[in-house]
Amino acid sequence: MRRIRTAEAILVGTLILIAVCMLAILISTYINDRWRFINDMKIQEYGICERLDDTTNKPVWTDDIIPSSYSSVNVCGLLVSSIPIELSAVVYKDTTQKPVLHRSYPSIDNGYFIIAIPLPKDNRAGSYFIDLYFQREVLAKLSITVE
């Protein structure tokens, strides 16, 4: 009889501990504003730009051909998301599978954005492919040529 009560007490204690941990996780995600579903995000109107216009805050687009004298390229777009997100840019040169750059951009807000992506210092000329990620999901793909 005593063993049954001890086993029941352990089971009840374990269930209470699990419930408290789940509640703590829910409260933490709510406080950090991460409780919403984040699969509603997308990047629209993305491409290579010079800057964001001062009056309209919209991108001033440029050609996808960049002079080799440039040390970086600006990627602009329109982020549609319910929460700020962290974007990652992965840059590939030519058709190689090995990235030449991986950089994170924390806290990109809803609306138009601009991020500067540095180009390699040596041997800049060639074709580049830029993938913009949120976590492991590709949100945008770009290609540019550096001459």
Length of the chain, in residues: 147
Identity (one letter) of the amino acid at 20? V
pLDDT digits (tens, 9 = 90+) for 8-57: 888 888 989 999 999 988 787 777 656 555 557 889 889 999 999 989 98
DSSP for 64-115, please give it: SEE-TT-SEEEEEEEEE-SS-EEEEEEEEETT-SSEEEEEEEEEEPSEEEEE
Cα 26 to Cα 24: distance, rounded to the nearest angstrom: 5
Q: How far apart are CA 58 and CA 32, in angstroms?
A: 29
pTM here?
0.71
Mean per-residue pLDDT over the chain, rounded: 86
- Residue 136 is predicted with a pLDDT of 83
- What does the pLDDT look like over 68-122, one tens digit per residue? 888 899 999 999 988 888 899 999 988 777 898 999 998 898 999 999 999 888 8
